[in-house]
Amino acid sequence: MLNAAIIGMGRWGRVLVESVQRRNDAGLRFVAGTTRTLAKAEGWAAEQGIRLLPDYEAVLANPEVQAVVLATPHSQHAEQIIAAAKLGKHVFVEKPFTLNRASAEAAVTACRAAGVVLALGHNRRFLPATLAMKRLLAEDALGTVLHAEGHISGPGAFEWQPGMWRADREESPLGGMGAMGIHMIDMLINLMGPIAEVSVQSFARVSTHVDDTTAMLARFASGATCSFATLSLAPRYWRVALFGTKALVEMQGQERLVFTPVTGQGWTKDFPKTDIEAAELAAFAAAAAGGPAYPLPLEQAVHGITVFETMIGAAAAGSRYAVP
């Protein structure tokens, strides 16, 4: 059983802990942790059997802690990962990995040098529908994929108020990209491989704090094209579709897959709801114990952040042509 510490006990940090705590099959238990305002977490930490420590340095110095789970602001990730690696602690980090390629590469280098596992929390990789899409691609059931479409939205920014770190443009460049959109970027990379170029429009139509509308056109290294959008002031929505010369496959929500061939009979399959937070933490614990590698190669983790950083630059450049 891997003894872990949770760093950051806001809403998402608590979701991660509660997905595995006191489950013997998880391979991981949370024994300690810290957060920005300790007083706000005292009751919950006691219920979970978590020992509160005064700060991150105290967590890393605790010999009982073998791994850290980071549910902290994006800009802190690289420094926290490197500090943990230097002391031989395995690291699970929430997305986005970091906010730029250089810091992502530095974090990977530190973990590899220390021989510790570094896992990134892109939980949609653990959806049964995702695994089914990958099988269809491996079987050439789609033919040559010409185009991919991705969309992830939600109403989260309605709750982002001044003073909250998510409402800070430095922490949330391109608005919903950090909280949501980066998941779809990882999904597209997972299914379609590296992204070669992007064109981005991102702006605030309603929000006074951060962008609420972000859209991208892209091309993969394979030559296939892609369209993508994330909205942070809209109903919750998830969709990813691949259009091939033999068939179209579309994930509608996270539990339904629709297959439409050019000829012949299509099908729809509904999958049971999966606790993907528990699945990703169990995979992290297994990798730390010397089992199967965590199913997100670090090269893809760095590439995802490289795409994110490039999107920020592309949106700032704003190459647009007016329609006469």
What's the total number of domains in the chain? Answer: 2
Within this chain, do residues 133 and 268 fall inside the same structural domain, yes or no? yes
| Pairwise CA distance, residues 140 & 163, whole Å | 50
- Is residue 324 in some structural domain? no
Domain CATH for 149: 3.30.360.10
Q: What is the pLDDT, as a whole number, of residue 216? A: 96
Q: What is the pLDDT, as a whole number, of residue 186? A: 97
Within this chain, do residues 21 and 148 fall inside the same structural domain, yes or no? no
Domain CATH for 32: 3.40.50.720
Within this chain, do residues 110 and 129 fall inside the same structural domain, yes or no? no
Mean pLDDT, consecutive 10-residue stretches, the chain (324 aa), reads 96 96 91 95 96 97 98 95 98 95 98 98 97 98 98 92 83 88 97 96 91 95 97 97 98 98 97 96 97 97 96 87 74
Q: What is the pLDDT, as a whole number, of residue 171? A: 84
Full-model pTM: 0.94
- Is residue 310 in some structural domain? no
Within this chain, do residues 169 and 283 fall inside the same structural domain, yes or no? no
Q: What is the pLDDT, as a whole number, of residue 169? A: 81
Within this chain, do residues 188 and 112 fall inside the same structural domain, yes or no? no
First and final CA of the chain: distance in angstroms? 65
Closest Cα partner for 6 from 87, 108, 94? 94
Within this chain, do residues 136 and 266 fall inside the same structural domain, yes or no? yes
Within this chain, do residues 24 and 67 fall inside the same structural domain, yes or no? yes
Within this chain, do residues 65 and 116 fall inside the same structural domain, yes or no? yes
| Pairwise CA distance, residues 206 & 203, whole Å | 9
- Is residue 307 in some structural domain? no
Pair of tokens at residue 273: 């709801």
Within this chain, do residues 145 and 268 fall inside the same structural domain, yes or no? yes
- Is residue 306 in some structural domain? no
The H-or-E segment that residue 247 falls in is strand 247-252
Q: What is the pLDDT, as a whole number, of residue 37? A: 93
Within this chain, do residues 98 and 192 fall inside the same structural domain, yes or no? no
Q: What is the pLDDT, as a whole number, of residue 101? A: 96
Within this chain, do residues 219 and 200 fall inside the same structural domain, yes or no? yes
Within this chain, do residues 95 and 147 fall inside the same structural domain, yes or no? no
- Is residue 110 in some structural domain? yes
- Is residue 309 in some structural domain? no
- Is residue 132 in some structural domain? yes
Give residue 93's domain range.
Answer: 2-120+279-295
| Pairwise CA distance, residues 121 & 29, whole Å | 17
- Is residue 301 in some structural domain? no
Q: What is the pLDDT, as a whole number, of residue 28? A: 96
**DSSP string for 94-160:** PSSS-SSHHHHHHHHHHHHHHT--EEE--GGGG-HHHHHHHHHHHTTSS-SEEEEEEEEE-SGGGG-
